[in-house]
Amino acid sequence: MLPVEGPPLHDGAVVVRDGAIVAVGPSATVEAAHPGLPVRDLSGRTLLPGLVDAHCHTEWALLPLDRPASSFGAWLSDFLPRRARMEEDDHALAAGLAALALTLAGTTTVADNGPTGAGIAALEAAGLRGVVHLETFGAPAGPAADEAARTFERRVEALAERAGRRVTVGLSPHAPYTVGPDHWAALAARPGLSGRPWSTHLAESADELRLMREGDGPLFEAYEPMGFVPPRWDGAPAAGTVARLAAAGALRQGLLAAHCVEVGDAEIAAMAKAGVAAVHCPLSNLGLGCGRMPLRALREGGVTVGLGSDSPASGGTYDLRAEARAAAAMHGAETDPGDLLALATIEGARALGLDGSIGSITPGKRADLIAVAPPEGTEDPVAAVLAAAASVDLVMVDGETLAEGGETLHLDREKTLTRAAGARRRLC
């Protein structure tokens, strides 16, 4: 057992009652203290907390990245027309496909971001826990920004009424290059939005930095055919994206900021002071040629960092163990298996503000657990569960089994894959 917030237990046991963890410890001790309980034997497997995907897009599961992009701007120019071909049913199908992949990969909590909120029904159908951030775009100013925020508030509240007990609805001003400062401020002023979870894409690429500083470049060119003019954020000529948002008062406690590749020391300090969490998506950064998040600097600077899978559209696979391996290759000696497991569990939970209830095997937390069959010959039990040769064998949320032996209990795997294959052929 890998509790995460404690040392490994080579013969561990956990007691689950009413969906919660009530006891953890050596098997003999726990069984003696709780006699007569039914026992589920997981011999030969390693038990650990369910994985926490702190940033993904379930609605882009049907738009896989065919080849690595030469730049972020070039990728966006290719992605936007493909996205525009999606029909309403495609968003629901994509979200369902993503939920299937997330479940089988051992993810039990998801921070989703999308334009329709299709992830709500998909996560609930799978039995997963999550936060679905509805994306908003645009650069209205003055009274138009206030009206746009009120309209968006109504959309979010309507989605929240449909959400079940495991899914929360938040919002995502998509990125500073798609959401202007007036719109951002108007969203923050709405009482039905200000207290909800917030997510955004921040400082993802050199192309974004050029747009922020010079107002032109590949990102401008990607949106120009659509008639959309990326907004400008005030700041000194050399100021980065984070610095411009900080100057506008747009940084906020609990904001999930995905990618954070182009950030300097002063910007990291501003993020830490404001209580902004970062999400590392290494496979996406590699697929889009965005570069390398300064992971050590962010963590040492006091910024909580979780791990995210983004989506197949940018090179991700909805598999946090694959993201952890990519992070290990990207950062080398800066990380060890324990760091990577923490990023995928307790640190992701902390980034979402959920570390009081998930992210480690601790009495009082929810019984979101996975069992992994490790490969033979790996002495380090943490490295073993992250290895590509390991397989996720059991997935539980609130003590309820969602998947076992590579099969999901609530989702029709074959039907979903067949329908997805047809939609991909049409879209791609």
Question: Is residue 287 assigned to a domain?
Answer: yes
* Crossing angle of the two packed helices 337-344 and 320-331, in degrees rounded to 10: 140
**pLDDT tens string 113-127:** 999 999 999 999 999
Q: What is the mean pLDDT of the chain?
A: 96
Q: Which domain holds residue 297?
A: 47-357+411-427
Question: Is residue 177 assigned to a domain?
Answer: yes
Domain count, the chain: 1
Among the ranges given (62-76, 315-329, 337-351), the one the predictor scored with the smallest mean pLDDT:
62-76
Question: Is residue 372 assigned to a domain?
Answer: no
Tell me what percent of the residues of the chain surpass a pLDDT of 90. Answer: 96
Question: How far, CA to CA in Å, does 203 sit from each of 21, 78, 347?
Answer: 38, 20, 20
Give CA–CA dist 112/117, Å, rounded: 9
Which residues are bridge partners to 277 per DSSP? 256
Give CA–CA dist 119/95, Å, rounded: 5
Question: Is residue 52 assigned to a domain?
Answer: yes
What residues contact residue 121 under an 8 Å CB cut-off, 6+ apart?
A: 92, 95, 162
Question: Is residue 24 assigned to a domain?
Answer: no
Question: Is residue 65 assigned to a domain?
Answer: yes
Pick from 234, 230, 227, 235: which is nearest to 219 by CA?
Answer: 230
Question: Is residue 378 assigned to a domain?
Answer: no
pLDDT attached to residue 216: 95
**pLDDT tens string 232-290:** 999 999 999 999 999 999 999 999 999 999 999 999 999 999 999 999 999 999 999 99
* Crossing angle of the two packed helices 119-126 and 88-104, in degrees rounded to 10: 40
**pLDDT tens string 319-335:** 999 999 999 999 999 99
Q: What is the CATH number of the domain that holds 145?
A: 3.20.20.140
Question: Is residue 230 assigned to a domain?
Answer: yes
Q: Any idea how long the chain is?
A: 428
